[in-house]
């Protein structure tokens, strides 16, 4: 029986590299669904995958995780297409309007924390968040809440007593407890919404295991390492071109001394691909699975304990459930008004 895999944010970067690696291992035994916001780019990604793997089954799904109506519509479409989902890769993510602190960068460049600075972005990156049409913080909605809502909507195809399914989150080494506040889960009052959202996904994964393992659904978290993707290059507008020329050779040099500089999407997808081949029951729900690349270019995966606790994860889960309830109520009211408007026209 074919395995059904849905990947959000699959049209570029780590998401696309994962799809390529999955099809390289098993072209005909998979049903792959690329869930993307931009359908033109999604079509280009599908064409590229089919050019390499003509026999592959690659479907497209329009999904914008920042939009509640888009998540609901996409989930409905998935349930119409498939009676089960074996893997759900929660990979879509944004880091909008990054602000690069050049002074802090140069200070860190010649200090003992240079590797940590590059690997995590801590101390050199802040972001200016936006608001979605639904009234949510954009980073929170895209990186976390949209995915949470998608999982909730897809329970009928994810939860089966007779088989296991896996949720696999793309987190980050930039996921810091210090950026997250349980009283401000949308990070409305801070300047590190990306870090907050990624730490929240680490917490949520733990809570999802508590609530879903008995129903055959397991959740894991990965860190792709430091990868050059569109998200990374999005920092470029605030990063002078001459600095980039200086920094790139340093990145390759640093990789001789640290394994977290995966650099390419293919390498960054290592842990995502590794988890595909594991029995979910054997995985540690409190570990983050890191994609690592040795100085000689060999890829491997290593689990590292996350800085999370069950109490905070449960509290976050409860807050997300409350938010979901409010969102559904608002959605029903909008649909009701819409029907009345149609009836009176």
Question: Alpha-carbon distance 144 to 160, whole Å?
Answer: 24
Q: What is the pLDDT of residues 289-341, one digit of tens each?
A: 999 988 788 999 999 999 999 999 999 999 999 999 999 999 888 888 877 77
Q: Is 194 a catalytic residue?
A: yes
- At residue 240, the pLDDT reads 61
- At residue 263, the pLDDT reads 74
- At residue 119, the pLDDT reads 53
Q: Which residues of the chain have pLDDT under 50?
A: 236
Q: What is the pLDDT of residues 102-119, one digit of tens each?
A: 666 667 666 666 655 555
Considering the candidates 89, 194, 199, 289, report the single residue annotated as catalytic: 194
Q: Are 51 and 28 in contact (CB under 8 A)?
A: no
And the tokens for 29?
Answer: 């035994």
- At residue 227, the pLDDT reads 76
- At residue 340, the pLDDT reads 77
- At residue 235, the pLDDT reads 55
Question: Alpha-carbon distance 32 to 95, whole Å?
Answer: 26
Q: Which residues make Cβ contacts (< 8 Å) with residue 202, sequence separation at least 6?
A: 169, 171, 175, 221, 288, 306, 308
Residue-range domains of the chain with CATH = 3-96+129-230+263-344 (3.40.50.720)
- At residue 254, the pLDDT reads 66
And the tokens for 20?
Answer: 């390529």
- At residue 260, the pLDDT reads 76
């Amino acid at each position: 029986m074919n395995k059904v895999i849905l990947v959000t944010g699959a049209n570029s970067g780590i998401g696309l590299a994962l799809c390529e690696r999955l099809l390289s291992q098993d072209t005909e035994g998979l049903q792959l669904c690329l869930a993307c916001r931009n359908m033109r780019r999604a079509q280009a990604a599908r064409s590229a995958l089919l050019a390499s793997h003509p026999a592959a089954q690659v479907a497209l799904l329009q999904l914008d995780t920042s939009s509640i109506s888009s998540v609901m519509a996409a989930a409905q479409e998935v349930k119409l297409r498939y009676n089960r989902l074996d893997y759900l890769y929660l990979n879509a993510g944004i880091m909008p309007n990054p602000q690069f602190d050049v002074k802090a960068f140069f200070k860190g460049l010649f200090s003992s924390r240079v590797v940590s600075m590059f690997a995590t972005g801590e101390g050199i990156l802040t972001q200016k968040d936006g608001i979605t049409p639904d009234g949510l913080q954009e980073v929170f909605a895209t990186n976390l809440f949209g995915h949470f809502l998608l999982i909730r909507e897809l329970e009928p195809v994810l939860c089966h007593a007779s088989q296991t399914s896996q949720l696999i989150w793309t987190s980050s080494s930039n996921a810091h407890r210090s950026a997250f506040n349980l009283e401000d889960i949308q990070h409305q009052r801070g300047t590190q919404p990306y870090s907050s959202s990624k730490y929240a996904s680490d917490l949520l994964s733990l809570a999802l295991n508590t609530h879903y393992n008995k129903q055959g659904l397991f959740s894991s978290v990965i860190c792709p390492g430091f990868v050059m993707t569109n998200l990374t290059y999005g920092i470029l507008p605030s990063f002078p071109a001459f600095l980039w020329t200086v920094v790139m050779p340093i990145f390759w040099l640093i990789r001789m001394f640290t394994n977290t500089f995966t650099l390419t999407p293919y390498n960054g997808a290592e842990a995502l691909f590794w988890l595909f081949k594991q029995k979910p029951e054997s995985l540690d729900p409190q570990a983050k699975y890191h994609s690592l690349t040795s100085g000689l270019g060999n890829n491997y995966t290593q689990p590292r304990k996350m800085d999370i606790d069950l109490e905070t994860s449960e509290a976050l889960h409860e807050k997300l459930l409350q938010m979901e309830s409010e969102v559904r109520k608002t959605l029903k009211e909008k649909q009701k008004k819409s029907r009345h408007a149609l009836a009176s026209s």
